[in-house]
Amino acid sequence: MMTKPLVNSLPDCPVETTVLLLGSKWNILILRDLLQGPLRFTELQRSIGSISQKVLTSKLREMEERGIIHRQIFPEVPPRVEYSLTELGLTLKPIIDSMYQWGEWYKNQISYSTDPSFPR
Amino acid sequence: MMTKPLVNSLPDCPVETTVLLLGSKWNILILRDLLQGPLRFTELQRSIGSISQKVLTSKLREMEERGIIHRQIFPEVPPRVEYSLTELGLTLKPIIDSMYQWGEWYKNQISYSTDPSFPR
DNA sequence: CAGCATCCAGTCGGATACTG
DNA sequence: CAGTATCCGACTGGATGCTG
């Protein structure tokens, strides 16, 4: 299951390690979408919403190298490629979940506090 | 407690909202360190380890604007400034915790799998 | 469809010098 | 100590055109 590590020597701090492996905001959004199940390239691009083809490709390659996602090629015409999470990728679910929960809570706070009928 | 929102309209997706508010890797490391208690500017810079003064300043201002951290100035000579988490900042703890746990687990996996005596 | 190659603007972030 | 100001190189990421 485990492929090559991110760098030769990981940071001492576990949080820093995680941040390093997660990478950018794009990687997190890809992760979020693939947690719902496998997706094709174009589907992923659409579900993320605003990512360019070039960036999506490079982030997918990066995550594949790190053993987070799996790339399945179906030799058809037209070509079909499906991306899915590896076992390792799935282990990141709790992090995405905690982000989801916080984001939901935060958005509620915001909408309450900007609601004119918000109690004082 | 709640200050001005990050943007006028937050993304629909809670995960994306969280990612946006967290910002960069630097913000996360600042958060990690301030979860241990208030720190002065130089202490923070040292505990993060490799951040330049310019970046640290800008990230602190950004997080202050978003209501995540509090900046306390003590009118002394030499000047003293302490940074701490706000109530809102503290609510992010579960996210950092989940990152910590995952990172720790991951580092263990790596070290086992590269250990020559790793059982087959 | 799922890319790769190229160009190019904008941002990030380090280094350095200076200040209340 | 805790910054601000400036310069500048490196990286990020969008747009466009082409391909198996």
Query: To the nearest whole percent, how much of chain A has pLDDT over 70?
Result: 88
B79, B73 contact by CB (below 8 A): yes
Give A29's contacts in chain B (Cβ within 8 Å). 15-16, 19
- pLDDT for A112: 75
Alpha-carbon distance of B13 to A29, in angstroms, equals: 10
Q: Which residue of B has its CA nearest to A90?
A: B102
> At residue A7, does pLDDT exceed 80?
no
Interface contacts (A, B; CB < 8 Å): 108
Could you give the C-alpha distances from A93 to A24, A57, A76, A90, B42, in angstroms and in order? 16, 22, 32, 6, 35
CA angle at residue A26 from B57 to A59, to 5 degrees? 120
Distance A79 CA to D20 C1' (A): 9
Decide: B96 and B10 in contact? Cβ < 8 Å.
Answer: no
Cα(B21)–Cα(A74) distance, integer angstroms: 38
Identity of the residue numbered B105: W
Q: Which residues are registered as beta bridge partners of B112?
A: none
Q: What is the pTM of this model?
A: 0.91
Question: What average pLDDT does range A52-72 have in this prediction?
Answer: 97
Interfacial residues of B (vs A; Cβ cutoff 8 Å): 2, 5, 10, 13-21, 25, 28-29, 32, 91-92, 94-107, 109-110, 113-114
A62-67: average pLDDT: 96
Whether the pLDDT of residue A117 is over 80: the answer is no
Query: What rounded mean pLDDT belongs to chain A?
Result: 91
Please name the residue of chain A whose CA is at the shortest distance from the CA of residue B19.
Answer: A25
Nearest to A107 among B17, B29, B32 (CB): B17
Contacts of B9 by beta carbon, 8 Å cutoff, 6+ apart: none
Q: What is the pLDDT along chain B (120 residues), one digit of tens a residue?
A: 555 556 668 899 999 999 999 999 999 999 999 999 999 999 999 999 899 999 999 999 999 999 999 999 998 888 999 999 999 999 999 999 999 999 999 999 988 777 666 654
Measure the CA–CA gap between B36 and A75, rounded to whole angstroms: 53
Give DSSP secondary structure letters for B2-57. Answer: ----SSSS--SSHHHHHHHHH-SHHHHHHHHHHTT--EEHHHHHHHH-S--HHHHH
Find residue B85's DSSP bridge partners: B69
Distance from C-alpha of A112 to C-alpha of B11, rounded to nearest angstrom: 17
Q: Taking residues A70-92, report their average pLDDT.
A: 95
pLDDT at B33: 98
- Kindly tell me if the per-residue pLDDT of A120 is higher than 60: no
Residues of B in contact with A15 (CB under 8 A): 28-29, 32, 96, 99-100, 103
Q: Tell me: cis bond preceding A119? Omega within 30 of 0 counts.
A: no
Identify the residues numbered 43 to 62 in chain B whose C-beta atom is closer than 7 Å to any atom of strand C.
50-55
Q: Report pLDDT for B120.
A: 45
pLDDT level of residue A113 (50, 70, 90 thresholds): confident
